[in-house]
């Protein structure tokens, strides 16, 4: 991942099938060369050249290029989506009247049409003219948002920034879980925060994230634990208690299921 002079834009280049796991914030990703596989819980998504992926809420995902070599590396771009900017455009784009809101998955893949590809191309070309970035980049990003809002997945994009939408209410709950990830999960309190009954909250949460609130918290905790052990050199037992586990042995079992190896062996492999 390479940051750029455009605040919301990162460029991606990989020559090997390097696996990346973490919590992905609302993002638009477009592939220029190669192909990528993304895992969300038990679901697998593939997207390639001239296709794009949108993540509309904070989701724990795993992604890796499936077509990437030294001679033909995986190339792509990632644009962080700003709900405030989206909201401003939504107010100017007329919605479909009398359309009932449905819960939609917080991640989708779609084909990129020529106008969207043109926007992305013009945005990256600005990197060769840094003096133009402050004026032109916000305009092009605004046009990208517009293209997404009138595209095939307009409902999912619209819900990112529509006040009171199902997705936005679930997104607020996800942010709360991220803040309080070490604390015991009180689903009733989260349902109340989302202004839903417990049964309705469970259904909408799973439709947006593909998992239950408890599964979401568990994946989040394990990702945080992995990062802590990598950067702070804490041992597995200490980390388990810090992220909210009461049993280090349970932590090790669930860590092994998620990452394919016990904590110590996994961290040694990542550091080697």
Query: Model confidence over 155-203: pLDDT tens digits?
Result: 888 888 887 888 889 999 999 999 999 999 999 999 999 999 999 999 9
- Token pair, residue 150, equals 């009138």
Q: Give the model confidence (pLDDT) of 230-258 as tens digits.
A: 998 889 999 999 999 999 999 999 999 99
Q: How many CA atoms lie within 13 A of 180 on its CB side?
A: 14
Contact 93, 146 (CB under 8 A): yes
β-strands 74-80, 2-3 pairing? unpaired
pLDDT at 138: 96
DSSP conformational letter for 126? G
Q: What is the pLDDT at residue 158?
A: 86
- Tell me what pLDDT residue 101 has: 58
Q: Which part of the chain is CATH 2.60.120.810?
A: 2-91+104-154
- Taking the whole predicted model, whether its pTM rises above 0.85 is answered as yes
Question: Where in the chain is CATH 1.10.10?
Answer: 161-213, 215-271
Q: For residue 49, give the DSSP letter.
A: B
Question: 161-213: which CATH number, 1.10.8, 1.10.10, 1.20.120, 3.30.160?
Answer: 1.10.10
pLDDT at 229: 94
β strands within 68-192, DSSP E: 74-80, 107-111
Widest distance between CA atoms in the chain: 57
- pLDDT bin (cut points 50, 70, 90) of residue 1 is confident
Give the tens place of pLDDT for each residue, 191-225. 999 999 999 999 999 999 999 999 999 999 999 99
Token pair belonging to 164: 């009171």
Indicate the range of 6-20, 47-61, 85-99, 254-268 predicted with least confidence. 85-99
- If one counts every other C-beta atom within 10 angstroms of the C-beta of residue 156, the result is 21
Domain 215-271 sits in CATH at 1.10.10
Residue 11 CA from chain centroid, whole number: 16
Quote the pLDDT of residue 251. Answer: 96
pLDDT at residue 271 is higher than 60 = yes
Return the number of other C-beta atoms located less than 10 Å from residue 71's C-beta.
5
Which whole number is the average pLDDT over 14-28?
88
pLDDT at 95: 61
* pLDDT attached to residue 99: 54
Q: What is the pLDDT of residues 71-119, one digit of tens each?
A: 999 999 999 999 888 988 888 876 655 455 566 899 999 999 999 999 9
Distance CA 12, CA 47 (A): 14
In the sheet that holds 43-48, the strands lie side by side as: 20-24, 59-67, 35-40, 43-48
Interatomic CA distance for residues 166 and 159, integer angstroms: 7
Q: Does domain 2-91+104-154 have CATH number 2.60.120.810?
A: yes
Q: Are 191 and 197 in contact (CB under 8 A)?
A: yes
DSSP 110: E
Yes or no: say if 91 and 40 are a contact pair by the CB < 8 Å rule.
no
Phi, psi of 232 (to 5 degrees): -110, -5
Q: What is the mean pLDDT of the chain?
A: 92
């Amino acid at each position: 991942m390479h940051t750029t002079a455009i605040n919301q834009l990162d460029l991606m280049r990989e020559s090997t099938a390097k696996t990346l796991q973490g919590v992905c914030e609302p993002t638009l990703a477009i592939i220029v060369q190669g192909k990528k596989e993304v895992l969300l819980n038990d679901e697998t998504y593939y997207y390639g050249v001239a296709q794009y992926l949108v993540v509309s809420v904070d989701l724990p995902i795993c992604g890796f290029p499936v077509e990437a070599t030294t001679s033909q590396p995986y190339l792509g771009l990632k644009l962080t989506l700003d709900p405030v900017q989206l909201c401003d455009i939504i107010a100017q784009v007329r919605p479909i009247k009398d359309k009932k809101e449905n819960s939609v998955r917080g991640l989708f893949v779609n084909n990129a049409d020529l106008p969207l590809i043109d926007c992305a191309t013009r945005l990256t070309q600005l990197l060769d003219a840094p003096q133009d970035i402050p004026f032109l980049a916000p305009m092009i990003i605004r046009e990208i948002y517009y293209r997404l809002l009138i595209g095939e997945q307009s409902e999912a994009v619209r819900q990112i920034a529509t006040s009171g939408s199902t997705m936005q209410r679930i997104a607020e709950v996800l942010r709360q879980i991220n803040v309080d990830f070490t604390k015991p999960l009180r689903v009733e309190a989260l349902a109340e925060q989302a202004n839903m009954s417990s049964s309705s909250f469970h259904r909408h949460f799973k439709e947006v994230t593909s998992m239950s609130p408890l599964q979401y918290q568990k994946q989040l905790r394990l990702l945080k634990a992995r990062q802590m052990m990598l950067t702070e050199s804490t041992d597995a037992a200490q980390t388990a208690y810090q992220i909210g586990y009461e049993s280090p042995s349970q932590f090790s079992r669930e860590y092994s299921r998620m990452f394919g190896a016990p904590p110590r062996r996994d961290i040694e492999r990542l550091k080697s």
